[in-house]
Amino acid sequence: MNKFFTLFAFLFLFITSAQAQTAPTMSASSTGTGLSLAPARVELEMKPGAETTVVVNLDYHSPGGTEQPTRIVATLNDWDITKDGRVEFYKALTRPNSASSWLVYSPAETTVTPGNIHSIRVTVSVPQDATPGDHLTSLIIEQRPDTIKFNQSARQVIVRYRMATVFYIKVSGLTRRGTLANLQAESSPKGIVITPTLKNEGNSVIRPAASVKIADSTGKIVAEVPGIEPLPVLANSETSQPLLIKNVLPPGSYSVKYKIDFQDGSKATEGIVDLIVKDFSQEKRPQISSTAITIQKP
């Protein structure tokens, strides 16, 4: 796998919007100067053979009015979310579900000036033989290296930026099947670390909602976290992203209930795991303890 090349400053945001729309912007800024890219995410439900055009806007603003025009270049890259929740970018057409060959955009290179919004038109053409499910790509906007000026006689902080609009091209015949494959709860001096393993056996992304309750040996709730928004789980993938609850509980036996709604049309799933909290003040090194998971659907 060819990972996306090294960057100095990269700002990435997943926006929880529905269909293709202008969501809150993704921006890069330094010393008062800002560049904003909107939307940060585009989702298009399309049929094989269909074609549509969307616009991605780059806003270059300088509050002090001292910035000069800069040259930017646009490219396409594949992308993915790793099991531990990291967003990875790859060379175009190297991922099995790549949609990079389906996009044509203009302009590929332009000069942007402060105070103006610069539009990039992106045309998406789905092949007739496209398979059902999500196909991913991203439009990367970055500054041309030759526009960065170095002053050899002065100290400088040079910031290079890359911003991305990620595309989900969702070809008809979508399925979403989320499962809670595993659940772990670990006690540490910083709090409780809960790690659910979420699996999506469908061909389209799911965006689950979750909550956590921790009860003591009598059944009393001693900690609760509602309204958790885990990372999206892409098609045919799984994630294991730890959640830290900073409450430091007294030593003892507890149970952890992790409830998750995959919003895939099925009922919410609840995982239950036992937790033993030890007295870390008496230990030289942190210890953890957890037991096997019991999963049930209420």
Q: How do residues 89-112 score in pLDDT, each as one tens digit?
A: 999 999 999 999 999 999 999 999
pLDDT greater than 50 at residue 32:
no
The span from the CA of 73 to the CA of 141, in Å, is: 6
Report whether 249 contacts 277 (CB < 8 A). yes
The span from the CA of 51 to the CA of 122, in Å, is: 11
Which pLDDT does position 161 carry in this prediction? 78
Report whether 31 contacts 66 (CB < 8 A). no
State whether the Cα torsion 216-219-223-227 is positive or negative: positive
pLDDT greater than 80 at residue 282:
no
The span from the CA of 144 to the CA of 147, in Å, is: 6
Place of tokens 């960057």: 7
The span from the CA of 37 to the CA of 1, in Å, is: 27
Which pLDDT does position 65 carry in this prediction? 59
Report whether 288 contacts 188 (CB < 8 A). yes
The span from the CA of 202 to the CA of 200, in Å, is: 5
Percent of the chain residues topping a pLDDT of 90: 65
Report whether 219 contacts 232 (CB < 8 A). no
Average pLDDT, integer, range 142-160: 63
Percent of the chain residues topping a pLDDT of 70: 76
**Which pLDDT tens digit goes with each residue over 202-225?**
999 999 999 999 999 999 999 999
